[in-house]
Chain A
Amino acid sequence: MKETPLSNCERRFLLRAIEEKKRLDGRQTYDYRNIRISFGTDYGCCIVELGKTRVLGQVSCELVSPKLNRATEGILFFNLELSQMAAPAFEPGRQSDLLVKLNRLLERCLRNSKCIDTESLCVVAGEKVWQIRVDLHLLNHDGNIIDAASIAAIVALCHFRRPDVSVQGDEVTLYAPEERDPVPLSIHHMPICVSFAFFQQGTYLLVDPHEREERVMDGLLVIAMNKHREICTLQSSGGIMLLKEQVLRCSKIAGVKVAEITELIQKALENDQKVRKEGGKFGFAESIANQRITAFKMEKAPVDTCDVEEKAEEIIAEAEPPAEVVSKPVLWTPGTAQIGEGVENSWGDPDDSEKEDDDEGGSDEAVIFDSIKMDTEIEVSNTGSQDAPIVLSDSEEEEMIILEPDKNPKKIRIQTINAKQEKAPSKRPVRKRKKKRAAN
């Protein structure tokens, strides 16, 4: 499905509002939308909501052999997917420009900033390392995917626990979560992306643009920063010229925003850990707001299955006994046997195909005749490139048999069989051609 286009008056309205320092959702210029973080029951699973933008993050791990040039380092892998659920314009299984750009930016933000200690992921140098895979799924697109995705990625990484391993000699033992507590990843810092949208060639600036604002913006500046105010990545897209002061101002704003978000993330992580430790209820079921009328819960429902047995017996008693199936194989022709009754042969009656065979035989002769005629004609004209048309006529014949656009699929099948059967007669013109060549 195509994206609904933005009308000119909508565009003008949005730009006018921005000029007047107003935003559609009532935010101020530097305001972020509400961020909500909820965790799943598994480790390393979280949903981050940034306003209406929603990203699901899941971290998983696997023991693999390391890259040759990095024998002592674990592997980090990021994969952001734009699900069709997020917006109808996203097609499944297509690498759009946006997706490539977002994935690259995420990698730069999280892998290249070395926020995860990859050396601690090494189990046996050169042989076994942990591969950490971060899957991010965009569930709802309401602008600023990159900020939501970067938050989801770092939250999921912080929440993740990998199984404990021990190495004794050459033996690597993997412990189940029941045997030994899984261990968290060692995280040096938490880089978070902050997006700035520029309008009217950089005159106006907005933090955390929503989908509508993204569609009318001229340029985008993404700054990835951690709470120590270290810039991890900086990317400007859209081709606008920015002044030095503008970039500096943006980095200052980013510092404030990142500090706020980091605090929020830490609080959410602490909360989840506390609940898990106390043995309380956790998971997505608990994060559904109960007071909403769109949400509804039902406690465990016992199902009365006492009469199930009687019911089943009744049905079986009423049902006709299954027909005795003949399980003796019947040999039709060498190579074709039948076990049981089966269904009717959909390949057509043998008589019918024979008839077809005759027809085909007739047309085949005509074709042969044609090719002979052609040959004679060519002989008359005696041009240099005689071979080509002859070859053409040969292939034409075969094509005609296979691709004849018949509405009845049965017939097509029969014809394909015939094509195989006719291999022998179709050789005739070839032989002839060879003779001709010899004559030439």
Chain B
Amino acid sequence: VEGAMQTDAKIRTAGGTEPGPQGPGCSLRHFACEQNLLSRPDGSASFLQGDTSILAGVYGPAEVKVSKEIFNKATLEVILRPKIGLPGVAEKSRERLIRNTCEAVVLGTLHPRTSITIVLQVVSDAGSLLACCLNAACIALVDAGVPMRALFCGVTCALDSDGTLVLDPTAKQEKEARAVLTFALDSVDQKLLMSTTKGLYSDAELQQCLAAAQAASQHVFRFYRESLQRRYSKS
């Protein structure tokens, strides 16, 4: 079970004089996404990052159960389904991280007393799963036409034992890494929405990872923009 935890940068203050990440060699795997591929949900998207693939479906704003009703905003629900077996603690933890991120950007107050449900299905896991989940959720929310303050994306960074920074790591790279950091960033000014980390790292490394994630997020947002442009083009 992944011990994902939200951490404060200052808690893990260590030496801070670790060797910095090497510039070249950092790249995102190939991306692909398909929108509106399911007929039943209001919005759906499949997002592929390398071999990692997530399918997302969004229902909403729709009727809400009385027990879950919030009188001044929409109830946001995230369901993450693993490919094999029943959802466990790891899925619940990821669900929470995704829900918190979405709640930060979705304008829920425009649809009080409704529910917005995001269902995520893991199709294949080959590293950077949480980042891919976040990206799929964002595209599906856009496809469903849910009003949002900004778009968001997830970027995963891995730090090797010798301090090399790897963006969008594969499952193998994640396994070998000393620390794996996942960030959610918004599209307006690349501010941090959520961060979850695993492993040991210094505060300098955290800032480096964050800066790298911000650089990578530009590519992701450009990918979003181009795919949406294509979607709403006439040809």
Contact = CB atoms under 8 A, between A and B. Distances in A.
Nearest to B119: A85
A326 B216 CA distance: 38
Q: Which of B31, B205, B211, B235 has the most CB of A within 10 A?
A: B211
A83 B121 contact: yes
B38 A305 contact: no
B193 interface: no
A86 B57 CA distance: 9
A298 B31 contact: yes
B182 interface: no
B81 interface: yes
Contact of B84 (A92, A135, A298, A306): A135
Contacts of B121: 56, 83, 85, 137, 139
B83 to A, nearest CB: 5
B40 A298 contact: no
Interface stretch (A200-208, A287-295, A363-371, A386-394): A287-295
A41 B81 CA distance: 19
B79 A84 contact: yes
Given A140-B38, A142-B40, A316-B207, A41 B124 contact: yes
A2 interface: yes
Contact of B10 (A86, A141, A303, A322): A322
B51 A283 contact: yes
A65 interface: no
Contact of A58 (B31, B40, B83, B235): B83
B55 interface: yes
A301 B212 contact: no
A309 B21 contact: yes
B53 interface: yes
Interface in B85-128: 85, 115, 117, 119, 121, 123-124, 126
A142 B62 contact: no
Interface majority SS (helix, strand, loop, mixed), chain B: mixed
Contacts of A309: 20-21, 208
Contact of A298 (B34, B41, B204, B223): B223
B6 interface: no
Contact of A306 (B23, B123, B219): B23
A40 B53 contact: yes
Given A1-B115, A139-B121, A304-B215, A285 B30 contact: yes
Contacts of B205: 312
Interface in A261-303: 283-285, 288, 292-303
B165 A305 contact: yes
Contacts of B117: 1, 84, 88
Contact of B27 (A296, A301, A316): A301
Contacts of A297: 30-32
Interface stretch (B144-152, B173-181, B225-233): B225-233
A229 interface: no
B200 interface: no
Given A42-B124, A85-B38, A303-B216, A312 B31 contact: no
Contacts of A303: 26-28, 167, 212, 215-216, 219
A305 B37 contact: no
A241 interface: no
A85 B223 contact: no
B39 interface: yes
Given A305-B165, A316-B203, 16 more contacts: A40-B53, A83-B81, A84-B119, A85-B44, A88-B40, A88-B41, A135-B85, A285-B53, A288-B32, A293-B230, A296-B226, A298-B30, A304-B23, A305-B215, A308-B21, A308-B23
Interface of A: 1-2, 40-42, 45, 47, 52, 54, 56, 58, 60, 81, 83-88, 92, 133, 135, 137, 139-142, 283-285, 288, 292-309, 311-313, 315-316, 322
Interface of B: 10, 13, 16, 20-21, 23, 26-41, 44, 46, 48, 51, 53, 55, 57, 59, 62-63, 79, 81, 83-85, 115, 117, 119, 121, 123-124, 126, 165, 167, 203-205, 207-208, 210-212, 215-216, 219, 223, 226-227, 230-231, 233, 235
7 contacts: A137-B121, A293-B231, A294-B34, A300-B27, A304-B26, A308-B215, A312-B207
**Shortest 4 CB-CB distances between A and B: which pairs?**
A296-B227, A312-B207, A85-B57, A85-B119
